[in-house]
Amino acid sequence: MKELDLVMSRYLERYYEAASSEEQSLFRDLLELPDPELYGLLLGRRQVQNDAQASLVVFLRGMSRND
Q: Which of 18, 67, 14, 61 is nearest to 30 (CA)?
A: 61
What confidence score (pLDDT) does residue 66 get? 62
Structural domains of the chain sorted by starting position, each given as residue range(s) with its CATH number in brackets: 2-66 (1.10.150.250)
Q: Which of 33, 34, 27 is nearest to 10 (CA)?
A: 27
pLDDT in tens, 21-62: 999 999 999 999 999 999 999 998 999 988 989 999 999 998
